[in-house]
Chains A and B, each alone.
Chain A
Amino acid sequence: MLEIRSIQKTFGSQTALDAIDLKIEEGEFFSLLGPSGCGKSTLLRLLAGLESATSGEIYWKGQRIDQLPARLRPFNMVFQKYALFPHLSVAENVAFGLQLKKVALAEIRSRVDEALALVNLQGFEDRKPETLSGGQQQRVALARALVNRPSIVLLDEPLGALDQKLREKMQADLRLLQKRLGLTFIFVTHDQEEAMILSDRIAVMNAGRLEQVATPRELFENPSSLFSARFIGGRNELSGRAIAGGFEMAGRTLEGISRCQELSQRGAGASVCAFVRPEMLRVSGMSEGANALSGRIVQILFRGSKSEVMIETAEGVSLRSMMDPSEASSLRVGSEVALQFAPHDTHLFWAGPQ
């Protein structure tokens, strides 16, 4: 198990990481997810030993490793733009780590072959990195890390430079490889969809702090803060004020909402945000029941497996609902509908100091 204890990192007067506590299990595909500048890459570089923490400790299997230099840590990294050695061939790139560890020549050769086979790059041994496509370079970078049999593979936005098609294929390959080898992957990305697909668990980061650490499903269904709710998945937001057990906006109330994170200590009257995923927002005919707002359909977008219905409420708020195309086929643009905010699908978040 990798254990990060109250890691702090400051660059001059700027705090890049603030009191990070994290435990990552062996064999886990763990993602650090956040917008650029949130500190996720800095945390990865700290783990690799390419950066040193201002304070705090890192333990691997119970041993403290944060004072070891990069070369003595049993981790290897896949860099953002691959960082292949341009003056070395593919095979020499992959063999680099083994050569430094004075592994016997015959073993180097067989392990390099094995690593290149793992990423489907047999036959590319003598090519120079510059002659390879982005996807191929990416796989060389992966082989160069894997050949050392690291305990943890650190990946810094490894798919960021690839086009969409290739990216999707590499995501599937990466996940398969990780499960097959049983390795621990720590994966940095700003792409929430990518993190959702790949990860066993995700740490959502914001401004040097961990916002929430949870499984993708948990993050989607039960975000602990407005930031992580907004960062992952689609969103509908209504702003209003908290009332006992619910939410009030322009005279309308939504009641029975139990999912009130970080609100209990703020009490009634605090300015809050009612949050519901587009997938959870029910659109029905005119019958306006409890916890419903009325609105008018502005647009219906067909998105293949889903239809996206865009609605404007009487209060002038734009909302979206995702539903089965068959369900959407009974709806018409311009018609009046009721929007159901089911209590167990609606979250209330403190909207922050305004």
Chain B
Amino acid sequence: MTERIRPKAPRALQMILPVVLLALYLPLVVMITGSFKGWTLDWYIELFQDPTLFQALLRSVMVATSSATLSTVLAISAALALEKFVFAGRWPMRILSTISLMLPELVLSLSLLSWFSVLHWELSLATVVVAHITLVLPFAILIIAARLTSMDAAVEDAARDLGAGEWEVLSRVTLPLLKPAIISAFTLSFLLSFDDFLVTYYTNGAGNDTLPVKLYALMKSGLSPKVQALSSLMLLVSVGLVILLIKYRPKEGPES
């Protein structure tokens, strides 16, 4: 294809994107530079020598891994049910399963908190995991359901025709073909859970601070280079995961 000459946008409009991008990324640059205050790595070293921070990191990883794993498994089952089977109440359930995306996080947190108190559940990391699952599940369902709808149903019919029972269709055809979506759903769930402050803050109880909550606590005593170093590290983890996801994402459809 030869390149088509496209009309140029007015100069004023051309300026909008660079300005927006600058507004987005400049604060990050300021933060990262701040974390090297005095041009040393001392702030990072201090971070790693702080045992409470390390514990918080450990909690964050645990919570994110558990909620990502559980919500991915739940999302696979839910998406299969919603897309593959015809049952009464399928449409309302499909809508309900994604509408919670639009719930304000604060409302979600408060409702969970009151629900836990109704159930007499002691707040702990377990309640955080439960809360995070409710938070990330709709995203995971959306990702997996989207892949399922775009999948050619004839492939599953071919497996049946060749002698596969329903479980074999699932394990030999459907799940392998869903693999890219499963990986995406897991990674996104992990990131959402790992980064979450608000829901965690309301549902974790005393002494169970995750990294974002810890960061908030630290910040209350002033915006130190140490806080900025911690923020920079969290940014690195998130961006790193996203880059990994994009780079090693199997091609749509056939995996390679």
Residues of A bordering B, CB below 8 Å: 45, 48-50, 69-71, 75-77, 79-81, 83-87, 96-97, 100-101, 128-130, 144, 148
Tell whether, in the assembled complex, residue A79 and residue B158 are in contact, meaning their CB atoms are under 8 Å apart. yes
B160 partner, pick from A71, A80, A128, beta carbons under 8 A: A71
Tell whether, in the assembled complex, residue B152 and residue A83 are in contact, meaning their CB atoms are under 8 Å apart. yes
User: Would you give the shortest CB distance from A133 to chain B, in whole angstroms?
Assistant: 16
Interface on chain B toward A: helix, strand, loop, or mixed SS? helix
Interface string of B132-176 (1 = CB under 8 A from A): 000000000000000000001011011111111100100011001
Q: A48-B157, A79-B154, A96-B162 are in contact. List 14 more A-B contacts (CB 8 A).
A: A70-B160, A71-B161, A71-B163, A71-B164, A83-B152, A85-B158, A85-B159, A86-B255, A87-B255, A96-B172, A128-B254, A128-B256, A130-B254, A144-B162
5 contacts between A and B (CB under 8 A): A49-B160, A85-B159, A85-B173, A86-B177, A144-B162
Q: How far is the CA of A241 from the CA of B99 in the complex (A)?
A: 65
Q: How far is the CA of A307 from the CA of B154 in the complex (A)?
A: 44
User: Would you give the shortest CB distance from A49 to chain B, in whole angstroms?
Assistant: 8
Residues of B within 8 A of A100 (CB): 162-164, 168
Residues of B within 8 A of A144 (CB): 158, 162
Q: How far is the CA of A76 from the CA of B164 in the complex (A)?
A: 12
Q: How far is the CA of A79 from the CA of B155 in the complex (A)?
A: 9
Tell whether, in the assembled complex, residue A85 and residue B253 are in contact, meaning their CB atoms are under 8 Å apart. no
Tell whether, in the assembled complex, residue B255 and residue A77 are in contact, meaning their CB atoms are under 8 Å apart. no
Residues of B bordering A, CB below 8 Å: 152, 154-155, 157-165, 168, 172-173, 176-177, 179, 253-256
Tell whether, in the assembled complex, residue A130 and residue B160 are in contact, meaning their CB atoms are under 8 Å apart. no
Tell whether, in the assembled complex, residue A96 and residue B159 are in contact, meaning their CB atoms are under 8 Å apart. yes
User: Would you give the shortest CB distance from A313 to chain B, in whole angstroms?
Assistant: 49
Q: Which one of B152, B163, B254 has the greatest number of beta carbons of chain A within 10 Å? A: B163
Q: How far is the CA of A69 from the CA of B253 in the complex (A)?
A: 28
Please give me the residue from chain B that is nearest to A71 by CB atom: B163
Please give me the residue from chain A that is nearest to B253 by CB atom: A86
Tell whether, in the assembled complex, residue A87 and residue B254 are in contact, meaning their CB atoms are under 8 Å apart. yes
User: Would you give the shortest CB distance from B216 to chain A, in whole angstroms?
Assistant: 44
Tell whether, in the assembled complex, residue A50 and residue B173 are in contact, meaning their CB atoms are under 8 Å apart. no
Tell whether, in the assembled complex, residue A130 and residue B253 are in contact, meaning their CB atoms are under 8 Å apart. yes
Q: How far is the CA of A23 from the CA of B160 in the complex (A)?
A: 25
Q: How far is the CA of A50 from the CA of B179 in the complex (A)?
A: 25
User: Would you give the shortest CB distance from B165 to chain A, in whole angstroms?
Assistant: 6
Q: How far is the CA of A311 from the CA of B40 in the complex (A)?
A: 96
User: Would you give the shortest CB distance from B84 to chain A, in whole angstroms?
Assistant: 14
Tell whether, in the assembled complex, residue A50 and residue B160 are in contact, meaning their CB atoms are under 8 Å apart. yes
Tell whether, in the assembled complex, residue B162 and residue A148 are in contact, meaning their CB atoms are under 8 Å apart. yes
Please give me the residue from chain B that is nearest to A80 by CB atom: B154
User: Would you give the shortest CB distance from A102 to chain B, in whole angstroms?
Assistant: 10
Q: How far is the CA of A173 from the CA of B119 in the complex (A)?
A: 70
B158 partner, pick from A83, A87, A101, A128, beta carbons under 8 A: A83
Q: How far is the CA of A6 from the CA of B176 in the complex (A)?
A: 40
B163 partner, pick from A45, A85, A97, beta carbons under 8 A: A97
A50 partner, pick from B161, B165, B255, beta carbons under 8 A: B161
Q: How far is the CA of A128 from the CA of B251 in the complex (A)?
A: 13
Tell whether, in the assembled complex, residue B155 and residue A86 are in contact, meaning their CB atoms are under 8 Å apart. yes
Given contacts A81-B154, A83-B152, A87-B176, contact A97 B254 (CB under 8 A): no
User: Would you give the shortest CB distance from B200 to chain A, in whole angstroms?
Assistant: 38
Tell whether, in the assembled complex, residue A87 and residue B177 are in contact, meaning their CB atoms are under 8 Å apart. yes
Residues of B within 8 A of A80 (CB): 154
Q: How far is the CA of A140 from the CA of B112 in the complex (A)?
A: 54
B162 partner, pick from A86, A87, A97, A129, beta carbons under 8 A: A97
Q: How far is the CA of A83 from the CA of B153 in the complex (A)?
A: 9
Tell whether, in the assembled complex, residue A83 and residue B154 are in contact, meaning their CB atoms are under 8 Å apart. yes
Q: How far is the CA of A69 from the CA of B168 in the complex (A)?
A: 14
Q: How far is the CA of A101 from the CA of B254 in the complex (A)?
A: 25
Q: How far is the CA of A87 from the CA of B155 in the complex (A)?
A: 11
Please give me the residue from chain A that is nearest to B155 by CB atom: A83
Residues of A within 8 A of B163 (CB): 71, 97, 100-101, 148
Q: How far is the CA of A144 from the CA of B154 in the complex (A)?
A: 14
Tell whether, in the assembled complex, residue B254 and residue A86 are in contact, meaning their CB atoms are under 8 Å apart. yes
User: Would you give the shortest CB distance from A146 to chain B, in whole angstroms?
Assistant: 12
Give me the 10 closest cross-chain CB pairs, A-B, nearest first: A86-B254, A97-B162, A83-B154, A100-B163, A83-B158, A71-B163, A70-B160, A87-B176, A77-B161, A83-B155
User: Would you give the shortest CB distance from A97 to chain B, in whole angstroms?
Assistant: 4
